[in-house]
Amino acid sequence: MKILIIGATGAIGRAVATALEGRHEVIAVSRSATNFPADIADKASLERVFAAIGKVDAIVSAAGGAVFKPLSALTDADFEKCLHDKLMGQVNVVRIGWRYIRPGGSITITSGALAHEPMPGAAAISMVNAGLEGFGRAAALELGNERVRVNVVSPPWVTETLIAYKMDPTPGMPAAEVAKAYLKSVEGDATGLIIDARKIE
């Protein structure tokens, strides 16, 4: 399969690319990519990169920024960033990308465990993650008519990310293990799923 990975330089994106390489043709897309740079917060850049790459069998989005801070400290700008970046960025990956998916192919977007397991400081992120899961389910119903599958992967905290932020890595899950959830979406035949990365064997 020809698989486009958005956010390929991040901890999860790199792990997904590594897991898929060798069996599939993997195309890396990120803000810093040399060949195919794109920022999901910039709809025009997504349109350019999809048009340049052409038809693919799968799109994986492991990108999107959000703000983690107490509710009392969240500003309008913080909420707007979360909505414009992680939420609408990935919504636009689906809105634009499905036209480039070959019949039977898939789009996988990323939410997160904070949608169902919130914690102090996660109000904006929990909101965005829950929104993505609702969108993913609804998009799967409509795009099924186009023979395009849509799934949402819900990862927990990633070990490598916790280490990078100098946080306790104990509750984290290694990115290589998280990647297995994306493989289930890409290489399987299901659609409309919220795939909890912690429940993949």
Range 44-56 average pLDDT:
97
CATH number of the domain within which 35 lies: 3.40.50.720
Q: Is the pLDDT of residue 165 over 90?
A: no
| Helical residues (DSSP H) of 98-171, grouped into ranges | 123-143, 159-164
Average pLDDT over every residue of 136-164: 96
Residues 6+ positions from 158 with CB-CB distance below 8 Å? 11, 12, 172, 173, 174, 175, 178
Q: Name, in order, each residue with C-beta under 8 angstroms of 92's C-beta and a sequence gap of 6 or more.
A: 40, 43, 46
Query: Please, which pLDDT band fits residue 43 given cuts at 50, 70 and 90?
Result: very high
pTM of the model: 0.96
Picking from 11-20, 126-135, 144-153, 163-172, which range would have the lowest pLDDT averaged per residue? 163-172
Mean pLDDT, the chain, integer = 96
Tell me which of 17-21, 33-37, 124-128, 130-134 is least confident.
33-37
Structural domain of residue 89, as residue ranges? Answer: 2-199
Residue 34's pLDDT is 85
- Per the structure, the count of domains in the chain is 1
- Strand stretches in the chain, DSSP E: 2-6, 25-29, 56-61, 101-110, 149-154, 194-196
Helix (H, G, I), strand (E, B) or coil at 103: strand
